[in-house]
Structure 1
Amino acid sequence: MEHHRLQYLIEQYSKDQINAEELHELNQWYESVDYSSKSFDEWVSESRGEEELINQLYERFDFKVKANKRVINLKRTYRAIGIAASITIVFLIGFALNKQQKMQLTAKASIQKAIIPGSDKAILKLANGQQIVLDSQRTGTIASQYGVSITKNSKGQIVYKNPTGSSKQPYNLEAYNTIETKRGGQYSIQLPDGTKVWLNAASSLKYPLHFSKNERRVELTGEAYFEVAHNKNQPFKVISNNQEVRVLGTHFNINAYDDEPAVSTTLLEGSVLIRNLSSRESQMLVPGQQANIAKNDLKISTVNTEQVISWKKGYFLFDNMDISSIMRVISRWYDVDIQYSDIDKSETFGGTFSRQADLTEILHDLQQLGHVHFKIEDRKITIGK
């Protein structure tokens, strides 16, 4: 196939304008390519070299699967190009800039059954010890404590409010509630001060029914995204794993899972003060920055905030992540256990997936693009070569 013809077909495919005849032609071309043969080298040469060909194709390889509840835009991180296509075909093209290393991506799936994703579910623990399974509650008032009503709105969010708006309502500064998600769960809540919090899987947030006059203090385990209601006279503080975050009103994400190498706080809007509770070192963050605290070290860096909060928006964005980091995220959301067997954990991957996709779909695509092989037994995933 001539280079310009192939380029046209790929353009048509990427625009979702390819017809059945052209799709068949594109599939035929893919099936005819032998990555290890001289004919492939000649084809690349006719296309005016690997470098130019890769650059041309990469600009157009921003494909998204149109299948229901699935979004993919995958690439491997040692300068290779790949795409995973829709229900009708599996279209994989790999090119390496190093002529001595040509990749052939294969899929030898050992996937046995679909594992469904997590959902909105959590447990609310009240000050009196009562526990409420939130996902089984209907819309409306679910509890009332010390003049504060707790309701579940039509969007499934838990909202705290004082029905009368009166400061004379009886209250107890020692009365705390805790909202907790297990693996495979997530939930959102509006605190008594109007602050909104989105809780990721395997996480918990402890907070008072009534904040003190001097500060608004909460305790976090796991991961949460905060949109803090502004109050210059009452700073909002989040305590998590050897870290204190102090704000007046802003948007930020905290990842404080015990199995992560560091506690990460990422700022989206406003400003926050990060304090390492061990070393007492403090740093201010500006939007786009992330603070990482590991033991006594506090480091600041600029990050891709879209990746950090992708979970809140309903998808995974893996950008140059090693397989261990990816599988920790997957383990929490799909409630599965991970085991490794003779694998290079330093190999990195990139990709975008819907959090509503079946886990088997995600593993299938990762397997196609890397030196990994997944085996599923009940809710245990073994990863090998």
Structure 2
Amino acid sequence: MPQETSRITYLLQRYTSKTCTRRELEELLAYIAAHPEDAALQHFMETAYQGLPADSALPEVDLDHVYHNIITPAPAKRIFPIRYVAAAAIIAGAIALAFLWRRPGPSTQTNIPLAQQTINNITPGANKAVLTLADGTTITLDSSGRQVIGGNTHITQQNGQLVYGANGTDNRLQYHTLSTPRGGQFKLTLPDGTRVWLNSASSLRYPTAFTGKDRIVELQGQGYFEVAQQANQPFKVMVNSMEVQVLGTSFDVMAYGDEATVNTTLVAGSVQVKEGNALRLLQPGQQAVLDQANHALTVQAADVQKIIAWKNGLFVFNNMTLAAILREVARWYDVDIVYTVTPSAELYGGGISRNLQLSGVLNLLEASGFNHFKVEGRKIIVLP
């Protein structure tokens, strides 16, 4: 829409001229997270930064002074002043916008910045997965492959996604499993038309046809679901002992074994989350949090744009610790984290493109925090 395009162009101009307000910056980030391939964004970046090498970054932009002059701060516990806004560049033909902020504080570290180290750079994750058929046969999937899989179950792979036909001729109850490795993601369309995005280090087990009274799938890791509406056949996602039941909705489930909680976040529609005798009904914008240690199930308001940003090519952080951020980085770049010290307890906010090479992400974290990093092979060593 012309009016929307004009608004986004205005926000981008405000950002690059260092005059945007906090509210405008948040609006811009939310739009990018929801529309990563928007033509207006692409055109503006190509025009504004024409001639820059694909891997170049813009100079650092310190918005502290701008914020001090044009923003009336909210309560301190809710605001984290910007210290670093950088890296709006075109990478692989797409926009890579990255910025971080943290609680201000002095830093006396003298470690050599990561940017000055000679390292073998690590590329970001990509569309890749393994499909395990009912008979145990495994098929490797990626972005470029195009193939038709299965005999009586019509399955096609194309452009980084797997699509099941709705009219297979085999009525036997058979299960397939789609698994993404660390450094991988994949999109899946189930036989009922439900679309699933699998994040890295995740798996989904599902039937090749939904023939019973319920549509049941089993998730490990993280997945975003857009469920095809069938009121007479509820859709259920099983995560260990927890059950998420929906009729027609969009939601995200994060259930990694190395996280303390299992989080179910509702984007649209309604879902019911059940664990043991606990039952919670979610409204859009709410999140059910299951503590994996004591099985306590609670409901809280959710930052939806942050939670679903991964499927749109962004890491988005909101008051997150370095350790929590590095767990996401480790899964996407297929690296291990080694701590030589206890990581800083600083809380970070902002966003980083998932298209950046690993060194670009770590440079942003170094510039915005107190810890430094060293890369050895596929290990990130956290230094003071």
The percentage of counterpart residues that share the same residue type is 39
Judge conservation of contact 1:343–1:372 (CA < 8 Å) in 2: no
CA contact (8 A) 1:243 1:274 kept: yes
| Residue 71 of structure 1: aligned partner | 97
Separation (CA, whole Å) in 2 of partners of 1:123 and 1:381: 26
Contact 2:128–2:160 (CA<8 Å) still a contact in 1? no
Q: How does 1:117-196 map to 2 (within 5 A)?
A: 117-135=124-142, 138-144=145-151, 147-153=152-158, 155-162=159-166, 165=167, 169-173=169-173, 175-196=174-195
Q: What is the one-letter code of the residue matched to 1:149?
A: H
What per-residue deviation string (whole Å, max 9, x for no partner) do you get for residues 274-300 of structure 1? 001xx3200000000000101320010
| Matched-pair contact (CA < 8 Å) for 2:202–2:219 | yes
Structure 2 counterpart of 1:73, one-letter code? F
Say whether the 8 Å CA contact 2:129–2:185 is kept in structure 1. yes
- Name the CA distance, whole Å, in 2 between partners of 1:109 and 1:382: 13
For 2:204 and 2:15, locate their aligned partners in 1 and report how far apart those are by CA, in whole Å: 48
What's the TM-score once normalised by structure 1's chain length? 0.75
Residues 107 and 368, structure 1, Cα contact 8 Å, conserved in 2: no
Q: Tell me the residue number matched to 2:231.
A: 232
* Superposed displacement of residue 336, structure 1: 0.3
Q: For the structure 1 residues 13 and 108, does the alpha-carbon distance in structure 2 shift closer, same or farther, using more than 3 Å as the test?
A: farther
Match of 1:293 among 274, 290, 293: 290
- Shift, 1:143, TM fit: 2.2
Measure the CA separation in 2 of the matches of 1:11 and 1:132: 46
What corresponds to 1:311 in structure 2? 310
Conservation of the 8 A alpha-carbon contact between 1:270 and 1:287: yes
Cα offset, 1:140, TM superposition: 4.0
Higher strand share: 2
Letter paired with 1:158? L
1:127 match: secondary structure: coil
User: What number of residue pairs does the alignment pair up?
Assistant: 320
Q: How big is each residue's C-alpha offset from its partner over 1:254-309, in whole Å with a ceiling of 9 and x where there is no partner?
A: 00000000000000000000001xx3200000000000101320010001100000
Distance in 2 (CA, whole Å) between partners of 1:234 and 1:10 is 47
Give the greater-gyration-radius structure (CA): 1
- d(CA) in 1 for partners of 2:82 and 2:258? 38
Q: Does residue 110 of structure 2 align to residue 113 of structure 1?
A: no
Residues 152 and 11 from structure 1, CA distance in 2 versus in 1: closer, same or farther, beyond 3 angstroms? Answer: closer
Deviation of residue 341 (structure 1)? 1.6
Instruction: Identify which range, 193-202 or 345-354, moves more after superposition.
Output: 345-354
Mapped partners of 1:130, 1:234: distance in 2: 30
Determine if contact 1:181/1:200 at 8 Å carries over to the other structure.
yes
Q: CA shift at 1:345, angstroms?
A: 4.2
Change (3 A) 1:10 1:206: closer
- Structure 1 runs not aligned, ≥5 long: 1-8, 20-26, 31-43, 81-100
Structure 1 residues 56, 287: CA separation in 2 closer, same or farther (over 3 Å shift)? closer
Query: 2:203 touches 2:221 (CA, 8 Å); kept in 1?
Result: yes
Is contact 2:234–2:246 with CA below 8 Å preserved after alignment?
A: yes
SS at structure 2 position matched to 1:115? coil
